Amino acid sequence: KAGENKQINPQLMKDHLKRTKGKVITRFPPEPNGFLHIGHAKAINVNFAYAEAFKGETNLRYDDTNPEAEEDQYFQSILKSIEWLGCKPTRVTYSSDHFQKLYELAIVLTKKDKAYVCHCTAQQMHEGRGGDTKGERKGCIHRDRPVEESLTEFRKMKEGFYAEGEATLRMKMDMNNPNPQFWDLVAYRVLYTHHVRTKDEWCIYPTYDYTHCLVDSFEDITHSMCTVEFVMSRESYYWLIDALEIYKPVQWEYGRLKLTNTVLSKRKLNKLVTEKYVAGWDDPRLHTLDALRRRGFTPEAINAFVRELGVTTTNSTIEMSKLEKVVRDHLNEVAPRLMVVLDPLRVTLTNLPYGHVEELELKEKDGSTHLVPFSKVVYIDRSDFSEEDDPNFFRLKKGMSVGLLQVPHPITCNEVIKDSKGKIIELKCNYDKDVKFVKPKTYIQWVGESSRHQSPIPVEIRLYSNLFHHSDPDNKEQVPGGWLSDINEESLQVKNGFMEVGIRHQLVPENKFQFLRIGYFCIDKDSDFEKNKYVFNRTVGLKEDSRK
Ligand code: ATP
Ligand code: MG
Ligand code: MG
């Protein structure tokens, strides 16, 4: 492929090498029209890792040529996400920094008779390109107007003489080429929109097709890596560079990442956010990097995930379970363990004296321990008790015993207390310390009361499942009603549970834990540490099938 990229003028390459000293230079070029998502993590990895392998450089370039969709908050979140992943751009650049130079080159292109001002409507342009039937293509009446006339008209475009839609600058390419990227692409359009950075300086804006390759060239990018849908653009990229006789980078393509049961396109994410299907760009059910971070994903896990994908030219759809496995494996190594009950059921150990508190040791994976109070009243998870006559239920039943994690002796349930509606509100159990020890079939997690804090710490726990029912919500065969009709209304479930008191000092923003027997959880930003109000997000269950 590099063979197609012959510099028309070897001097251009010599000058480039003089400027770069032969360094590899890549760039990550997001449009600041939304938050970065897991697909961008792949793009970031491809660009930064390639440059790093050759001790090169990587620019973060804000590709800010569509002022209608771009906002200051997006510029900020993009850099934050890149840094969170551990990447440090060599420089931060903006396509808009080159608006003047791009304008001047458009004049050069027009003078070479390789661009013209066109007054066709969008519909007329579409028809000239063969229309809906992809029929005969032909250049419009403006295509062959004199160069001088186009130069005058282009200046008028810039000076605000035309309303939006009344004039464009089009590249004079090749209407006979089978590649649609040659059908006289638009280079400039009239747009009376305020730009976050250039304010109201311009009322014409360059298009992606015109800007991208030129800014790559200005920045001396050696490898311009993009996703495979741009494969047809590679030739037109080279066409424009050659037409202007400037330094020419190489374009390489790699596969776009897709994940099952979610959407990644920023246009769709924007819709989910603005129409309030989710709580914001960082809603933990989304797969933006901010959402994954809030959900409890680590940068290490995300980097490992995208690295494992490798760089191929196929657009792959990856199972969500694969992403979850990577974070589960990482959290299993690093997250401290503790006991939490999601749905507390009070258990009174009738044979222990009032005020009885014993400090027991809970072991961490690394061998360290913290203390948990074992008291006359403890809480277990409601799901660990059953009144059903199920021989395969090995947790607590009336008349039977179960082990409490780290507690020396089992407990036996003697009495079930219910309220007037028949709901179980308490179990009366015996702590079997004076009975011959029989090893219980199962040990369950529990939370006790400390003498200092009295009750356990109440916590709000948010459990997430897939935001979309189907693996490919965009697929009309799977989801005839369209992707928005596929939203899982039960993707967020809220529990009010109890947490042990032994790890208070670790209750800090974004800390991650393994809740024994349940899964991996992360402290959410909705927590109020002053008021002892704690909110946790479930990052992922302990095992693959424990997600729902
Ligand atoms: P979206 O549809 O999400 O807006 P985009 O390609 O328009 O995607 P950009 O902000 O222009 O988003 O993307 C910046 C870079 O990240 C581009 O090089 C783009 O090709 C790459 N990229 C975007 N989405 C993915 C993805 N899902 N997988 C791999 N690379 C991606
Ligand atoms: Mg883009
Ligand atoms: Mg886009």
Average of per-residue pLDDT across 224-235:
95
The answer on 348 and 312 residing in a single domain is no
Q: Which of 227, 229, 264 to mutate to test the pocket of ligand 1 (most atoms within 8 A of CB)?
A: 227
Distance from Cα 29 to the centre of ligand 2, integer Å:
8
The answer on 443 and 297 residing in a single domain is no
Distance from Cα 21 to the centre of ligand 2, integer Å:
30
Question: What ligand 1 atom has the least distance to the C-alpha of 256?
Answer: 28
The answer on 238 and 280 residing in a single domain is no
CA atoms of 160 and 191, how far apart (whole Å): 9
Distance from Cα 30 to the centre of ligand 2, integer Å:
6
Question: Where residue 525 falls among pLDDT bands split at 50, 70, 90?
Answer: very high
CA atoms of 203 and 216, how far apart (whole Å): 23
CA atoms of 255 and 231, how far apart (whole Å): 11
Looking at the annotation, which residues are catalytic?
31, 256, 266
CA atoms of 48 and 52, how far apart (whole Å): 6
Give the residue, by CA position, lying nearest to ligand 1 atom 24: 39
The answer on 175 and 61 residing in a single domain is yes
Give the residue, by CA position, lying nearest to ligand 1 atom 8: 265
- Shortest CA distance to 306 belongs to which of 287, 332, 286? 287
Question: What ligand 1 atom has the least distance to the C-alpha of 31?
Answer: 10
Q: Which of 31, 40, 60, 211 to mutate to test the pocket of ligand 1 (most atoms within 8 A of CB)?
A: 40
Cβ(85)–Cβ(304) under 8 Å?
no
Amino acid at 356: H
> Is a pLDDT exceeding 70 seen at residue 447?
yes
CATH number of the domain to which 533 belongs: 2.40.240.10
How confident is the model at residue 52, as a pLDDT? 97
- Classify strands 186-190 and 168-171 as parallel, antiparallel or unpaired: antiparallel
> Is a pLDDT exceeding 50 seen at residue 547?
no
The answer on 184 and 46 residing in a single domain is yes
Average of per-residue pLDDT across 128-132:
96
Ligand nearest to the Cα of 30, by number: 1
The answer on 347 and 314 residing in a single domain is no
User: Of 309, 334, 359, which residue is a domain's last?
Assistant: 334
The answer on 290 and 172 residing in a single domain is no
Average of per-residue pLDDT across 93-107:
98
pLDDT in tens, 299-346: 999 999 999 987 777 777 999 999 999 999 999 999 999 999 999 999
How confident is the model at residue 5, as a pLDDT? 61
Question: What ligand 1 atom has the least distance to the C-alpha of 32?
Answer: 10
Distance from Cα 31 to the centre of ligand 3, integer Å:
7
How confident is the model at residue 482, as a pLDDT? 96
CATH number of the domain to which 96 belongs: 3.40.50.620
pLDDT in tens, 108-123: 999 999 999 999 999 9
Task: Name the burial class of residue 513, with classes exposed (0-12), middle (13-18) and buried (19+) by CB atoms within 10 angstroms of its CB.
Answer: buried
User: Of 268, 299, 334, which residue is a domain's last?
Assistant: 334
Give the residue, by CA position, lying nearest to ligand 1 atom 9: 30
How confident is the model at residue 57, as a pLDDT? 98
What domain range includes position 267? 258-334
Give the residue, by CA position, lying nearest to ligand 1 atom 30: 43
CA atoms of 289 and 300, how far apart (whole Å): 13
Distance from Cα 165 to the centre of ligand 2, integer Å:
22
Q: Which helix (DSSP H) or strand (DSSP E) does residue 535 occupy?
A: strand 534-541
The answer on 8 and 60 residing in a single domain is yes
Report the share of the chain in percent with pLDDT over 90.
91
Which sign does the torsion angle of CA 247, 250, 237, 191 carry? negative
The answer on 234 and 347 residing in a single domain is no
- Who's near 483: CB < 8 A, 6+ residues apart? 263, 268, 468, 473, 474
Distance from Cα 40 to the centre of ligand 1, integer Å:
6
pLDDT in tens, 381-396: 999 999 999 999 999 9
Average pLDDT of the chain to the nearest whole number: 95
548's tokens:
């729902």
CA atoms of 351 and 433, how far apart (whole Å): 10
Ligand nearest to the Cα of 227, by number: 1
Ligand 1, pocket residues at CB < 6 Å: 29-31, 39-40, 42-43, 226-227, 256-257, 264-266
Give the residue, by CA position, lying nearest to ligand 1 atom 23: 40
Q: Which helix (DSSP H) or strand (DSSP E) does residue 301 occupy?
A: helix 299-309
Give the residue, by CA position, lying nearest to ligand 1 atom 7: 31
Cβ(97)–Cβ(55) under 8 Å?
no
Ligand nearest to the Cα of 78, by number: 1
289's tokens:
């990097």
The answer on 37 and 12 residing in a single domain is yes
Cβ(99)–Cβ(132) under 8 Å?
no
* Buried b or exposed e, range 282-320, using 16+ CB within 10 angstroms: bbbbbbbbbbbbbbbbbbbbbbebbeebebeeeeeebeb
If you count them, how many residues does the chain have?
548
How confident is the model at residue 476, as a pLDDT? 95
Ligand nearest to the Cα of 34, by number: 1
Cβ(373)–Cβ(447) under 8 Å?
no
Question: Where residue 8 falls among pLDDT bands split at 50, 70, 90?
Answer: confident
Question: Where residue 454 falls among pLDDT bands split at 50, 70, 90?
Answer: low
Q: What is the pTM of this model?
A: 0.95
Give the residue, by CA position, lying nearest to ligand 1 atom 22: 40
Distance from Cα 44 to the centre of ligand 1, integer Å:
10
Question: What ligand 1 atom has the least distance to the C-alpha of 227?
Answer: 20
The answer on 230 and 94 residing in a single domain is yes
User: Of 254, 280, 304, which residue is a domain's last?
Assistant: 254
CATH number of the domain to which 278 belongs: 1.10.1160.10
Question: What ligand 1 atom has the least distance to the C-alpha of 44?
Answer: 16
Average of per-residue pLDDT across 13-42:
97
The answer on 327 and 343 residing in a single domain is no
Question: Where residue 4 falls among pLDDT bands split at 50, 70, 90?
Answer: low
What string of DSSP letters covers 37-92?
A: BHHHHHHHHHHHHHHHHTT-EEEEEE----TTT--HHHHHHHHHHHHHTT---SEE
Q: How many domains does the chain fold into?
A: 3
